[in-house]
Amino acid sequence: MTAGVSGLTMRLAPVAAAELTEYASLYDWPLLELGAMANERAQSAAPGGMVSYIVDRNINYTNVCVTDCSFCAFYRRPGHAEGYVLSNEQIGAKIEEAKAIGAVQILMQGGHNPYLKLDYYTGLLDYIKTHHPIHVHGFSASELDIIARVHKADLGTVIGELKDAGLDSVPGAGAEILVDDVRDRIAKKKIGTARWLDIHRAVHEQGLLSSATMMFGAGESRKDRVEHMIRVRDLQRETEGFTAFIPWTLQSDGTEMDGAPETTATEYLKTIAISRLVIDNVRNLQVSYVTQGPKVAQVALHFGCNDFGSLMMEENVVSATGTDFIMPRDTLVRFIEEAGFEAVPRYQDYSPIIPDLDWYCGCRVCMDRRDG
């Protein structure tokens, strides 16, 4: 394990083999028993029969990327005719469209674009907060890594500057499978496991919340998935900075991995149920209707999940693989209610939006709202 630019990266202690074997053996359980156990955990973690969702918009500010991940159909190499970087004004217009349909945040993610310096990001955040104030959930760990490397600065400093410019929270993307053997195969140029964890640790230390994802079905073993879950659980024990765990399955169409066998619905439900059991210290577990389809996502609410994710006004990355489940709000609410839950719109920190009750998450937008 090499040290990153920040000097934070340490060698990871191996996960106890006995724990891996024990949790991986849960996959041999009958589906319903596993679901019932996960449900019980979910009800103690997030009681009340509520399922939350967020109204937001994805903004993919650039598709230029040097990381060449084999599972991705969104990126373009630098110099490619289809490469783009959105202007501040284009992003501002997208934010206003999102606000018009009631969005409470934007999710800003993009490629690993080596031509964008730190002042591009701080300038963009400042522009947004000045002209189109909204909660900015943005820049996953691997983007933060390349920003720090391009800027040749310490991670904590970079995250601090982004926070000062208006970054409110950090998405959990780019985790894929947090096992280096797997990462070497599917995302060789992406940051390693230790670095991903270090970046989230640094994010949490700067006082920002983040989520954690897992992309599975890319040829990893069940034990690899369990190891991933244990890594997330262990960092959460240290920092308590993760709001949610978001597992989703590889969609391989149009990627280098095209033709890889699709993860079955049974495997998906088992995996989310097991994540609920392993990660006993993260409150929220999100379904992935974008990759599994709305029917399976609805069923997943009975297998330990308590969040339906985002309405996703715009989603470029997964739809580039041909998977397209963008859902109208009333359909999403109907699916939650028909499953027997109360549908509750939420903010990024998973607190419910309660009409006529002011809510402040501590971000600049909220504080400005509070201070009039």
State the virtual CA torsion across 141, 27, 293, 173 in degrees, nearest 10. Answer: 0
With a CB cutoff of 8 Å and minimum separation 6, the contacts of 371 are none
Burial of 28 (0-12, 13-18, 19+ CB in 10 A): exposed
Q: Which is nearer to another protein, 26 or 64 (CB)?
A: 26
- Nearer CB in complex with another protein: 66/299: 299
* Terminal Cα-to-Cα distance of the chain (whole angstroms): 49
Which C-beta is closer to another protein: that of 91 or that of 285?
A: 285
Token duo for residue 273 = 């149920």
Q: How far apart are CA 250 and CA 248, in angstroms?
A: 7
Minimum CB–partner distance for residue 70 and another protein (Å): 23
- The H or E element spanning position 352 is none
Q: How far is the CB of 226 from another protein (least distance, A)?
A: 12
Residue 362, amino acid: G
Nearer to another protein, 148 or 327 (CB): 327
CB of 257 to another protein, least distance (A): 18
> CB–CB of 220/181 below 8 Å?
no
**What tokens appear for 312 in the block?**
């996703």
Question: Smaller CB distance to another protein: residue 109 or 298?
Answer: 298
Contact 143, 109 (CB under 8 A): yes
* Least separation in angstroms between CB 12 and another protein: 23
Distance (Å, whole) CA 120 – CA 29: 50
Nearer to another protein, 28 or 358 (CB): 28
With H, G, I as helix, E, B as strand and everything else as coil, classify residue 274.
helix
For 56-84, the DSSP string reads: EEEEE-B-B-S---TT-SS-B-TT-TT--
Concatenated DSSP letters of 189-223: TS--HHHHHHHHHHHHHTT-EEEEEEEE-SS--HH
Q: Which residues bind another protein (CB under 8 A)?
A: 22-23, 25-26, 29-33, 35-37, 39, 49, 264-267, 269, 277, 292-299, 301-302, 331, 334-335, 338-341
Q: How far is the CB of 320 from another protein (least distance, A)?
A: 19
Task: Find the shortest distance in angstroms from Cβ 32 to another protein.
Answer: 5
| Identity of the residue, 156 or 294, whose beta carbon is nearer to another protein in the bound complex | 294
Q: Residues 205, 206, 210, 212: what is their CA dihedral angle, to the nearest 10 degrees?
A: -40
Q: Residue 273 Cβ, how far from another protein at the closest point, in Å?
A: 11
> What's the closest the beta carbon of residue 168 comes to another protein, in angstroms?
34
Name the residue nearer to another protein (CB basis): 26 or 146: 26
Encoded amino acid at 367, one letter:
M
Closest to 143 in 3D by CA, of 176, 118, 178: 118
Nearer to another protein, 92 or 294 (CB): 294
- Give the nearest distance from C-beta 277 to another protein in angstroms: 8
SS3 259: coil
Q: Is 248 within 8 Å of 214 (Cβ atoms)? A: yes
Report the residue number, 4 or 35, with the smaller CB distance to another protein. Answer: 35
Residues 6+ apart with CB under 8 A from 286: 244, 245, 246, 247, 305, 307, 308, 309
What is the closest distance, in whole angstroms, from the C-beta atom of residue 278 to another protein in the complex? 10
